[in-house]
Amino acid sequence: MNTAKDKIKEMFDVGAHFGFSKSRRHPSTLPFIFGRKNNVEIFDLEKVEEKLEEAKAFAATVAGEGKQILFVGGKKESQRPIKEIADKIDMPYVSGRWIGGTLTNFNEIKLRTKRLLDITDQRDKGQLGKYTKKEKLLIEREIIKLEDRFGGIVNFNGKPGVLFIIDADKEENARNEAIKEGIPVISLMSSDCDVTKVDYAIPANDSSVRSITYFLNEIAEAYESGKKAKKAE
């Protein structure tokens, strides 16, 4: 089992300690800043580790209650890791533009995901023969469009136990919908973010693929551990 010291080294190795310049710092992150190097502020990884453990404990609790975790991130650096890790543990995700109403108007969103499932199923079963060549082409284009927008939430039940957002300030629409629906938020947030706006902020580098992937894995593993612990009971 990794100790806190091991975790700090792991975070250091993936560059989790790098923030932004002092001029970009949000006042709420000041308690987590250790110092500066080459005008880049450096996070105190001991404090980051504490916040990470709090977030992981909550993710495990959500899993134990049988609730979903929804992964969210529109940043280019976050899109592939979010999809891969969410798929790995069979959880819903949004890796791209947040679709308004995903939480607050889920019934409408469900109609779109149902449409995606229905026409994909017809295609896969070879049931598009009744359509003209042009109609088939239009259906294929519709599948691509729906897959791009809703492919990550076809197994979403509409009421997750928590959102894990990469940079909740950038993804403010997702964060605000979660707040409106009373859904807790975990977020990886760099030094330019307001960490007071989420329930479980992890103040660390939210702009590099290695750092993002590390924290996604940590939360996903904690969630899976919570599921296993519940089954063991």
pLDDT of amino acid 1? 65
pLDDT of amino acid 136? 86
Q: Average pLDDT in the 219-231 region? A: 94
Q: How confident is the model at residue 16 (pLDDT cuts 50, 70, 90)?
A: very high
CA-closest candidate to residue 92, choices 108, 105, 73, 75: 73
Amino acid of residue 106: F
Least confident span in 162-166, 186-190, 197-201, 227-231:
227-231
pLDDT of amino acid 2? 78
pTM: 0.93
Q: Average pLDDT in the 29-38 region? A: 95
pLDDT digits (tens, 9 = 90+) for 118-155: 999 988 888 887 888 898 899 889 999 999 999 999 99
* Location of structure tokens 């499932």: 117
DSSP bridge pairs for 62: none
How far is the C-alpha of 209 from the C-alpha of 202, rounded, in Å?
16
Mean pLDDT of the residues in the chain: 95
Q: Return the biggest CA–CA distance within the chain.
A: 67
CA-closest candidate to residue 187, choices 61, 54, 79: 54
Q: Is residue 86's pLDDT more than 70?
A: yes
Q: Which residues contact 13 (CB under 8 A, 6 or more apart)?
A: none
Q: Which residues contact 124 (CB under 8 A, 6 or more apart)?
A: none
Beta strand pairing call for 33-37 and 40-43: antiparallel
In the chain, the percentage of residues whose pLDDT exceeds 70 is: 100
pLDDT of amino acid 34? 96
Q: How confident is the model at residue 233 (pLDDT cuts 50, 70, 90)?
A: confident
